[in-house]
Amino acid sequence: MSENTTSSQKLRVLLGVSGGIAAYKSADLVRRLKERDFIVRVVMTEASTHFITPMTMQAVSANPVHLDLFDQEAEAAMGHIELAKWADIILVAPATANTIAKINQGLADNLLTTLVLASKAQLVIAPAMNQQMWTNTTTISNVEGLRQKGTLVFGPDAGEQACGDVGAGRMMEPLMIADEMLRLSATSFERQELRENKLILNGLNVMITAGPTVEAIDPVRFISNHSSGKMGYALAEVASDLGAMVTLVSGPVNLCAPNGVSVKPVTSAKEMMATVQQHIGNCELFIGCAAVADYTPIKVAKHKIKKNEENMNVELVKNPDIISWVAAQKQRPIVVGFAAESQNLSEFAINKLSKKKLDLICANNISQEELGFNSENNEIFILDKSGKEVHLPAASKSNIAKSILEHIYQQFLIK
């Protein structure tokens, strides 16, 4: 946040529009942001002007549009350094593969990339490109590089693209981006306070698993569960804000990567296990929050199974027990598990803690409406080896995450 901005003031968004067909959505995005009380200025790359005119963007933003790094008239009104200082958030939408690569490499060859490099504002990108470009290893590396530097990534969505391809790469819809920006602004000052004043996990290497796993039956069918990943993502976000170096191993979810967190996307339990084993390295705290499928099909059909019989039998085999493997390591981190139960909450949680040799377990009752799976809130009971129980009353998952991490700090990390 800029020095002169307070939580009672409107946040200033510098919208960077780069040159992709999704630039046509940028005018609607400006309108959506203004509806949510953001002040918006627009910077356009030369390529973006082939898709939408500066006059359109000026009309919807009610501010002059900034185009040229060497525009003397613009420099006299608001130089690029002043513009970089003005912004509370820089949002690049659409963010093309080319612009993402330039920003990650620290290039400053146009006004937009120069402003990004010269600003301390929170950077947010909304990627938009052909599905093959999005899955290219270079793009993946560039996006991961930006995430490691604290950039937030909104999207992309999947679906039919302008070129006729189908897949991930569509820019997230303006309404969704605006809502994400509103959520970001609502917590930005709280996050700043955490970063500046409460670095209780400063430098701690933390690994968190989140979301469901998906176990394929055939190319179109699978076994999974209702986990949204929101609890694990909240833990990762708060841990990062508290100064930790966080690796988030995530099953398939519809959530944006938390700020400053290294996200390792996986699909199945076996992939999650392999990724945990690969990156566990110097991990000092492991939190197993993922809802890992207990079983997986022994055989995955190569082609779609046709609906010929009234009954279909699928033979299953147990999946690897990820958290037990972590807890069994000779040089192990602090290991915290989760128990999602619908009955006998404390009994089942204590049994799981003992059987898997965990240090702590967080138990929640999934039968309660508006709590647990797919909800914004949770209620947790933290249990340790001695049987001591700490109740965290129903609250937002972000607040629950803070309480869990503070409890871990007090019990295991305080010196």
Identify whether the C-beta of residue 412 lies closer than 8 Å to the C-beta of residue 332: no
pLDDT at 77: 45
In the predicted model, what is the mean pLDDT of the chain?
Answer: 85
DSSP 160: E
Percentage of the chain exceeding pLDDT 70? 87
- Residue 410 or residue 188, greater confidence: 410
The CATH number corresponding to 198-413 among 2.60.40.10, 3.40.50.10300, 3.40.605.10, 3.40.47.10 equals 3.40.50.10300
Same topology, domains 12-187 and 198-413? Answer is yes
pLDDT surpasses 60 at 190: no
Q: What is the pLDDT of residue 279?
A: 93
* Average of per-residue pLDDT across 370-376: 68
Choose the catalytic residue: 163, 256, 283, 289.
Answer: 163
Per CATH, the number for 12-187 is 3.40.50.1950
| 163 labelled catalytic | yes
Concatenated DSSP letters for 274-299? HHHHHH-TT-SEEEE--B--SEEESS
Cα–Cα distance list, 80 to 86, 94, 323 (Å): 10, 21, 50
pLDDT for residue 151: 87
Measured CA to CA, the distance from residue 117 to residue 124 in angstroms comes to 13
- Angle, in degrees to the nearest 10, between helices 54-61 and 26-35: 10
The domain segmentation of the chain, as residue ranges, is 12-187, 198-413
- Of residues 413 and 113, the one with the higher pLDDT is 113
170 contacts 242 by C-beta, under 8 angstroms:
no
Token couple for 27? 């005018």
> For residue 156, is the peptide bond before it cis, meaning its omega torsion is within 30 degrees of 0?
yes
- Model confidence at 76, in pLDDT bands (50, 70, 90)? very low
In this structure, what is the dihedral angle of CA atoms 41, 47, 52, 57, given to the nearest 10 degrees? 10
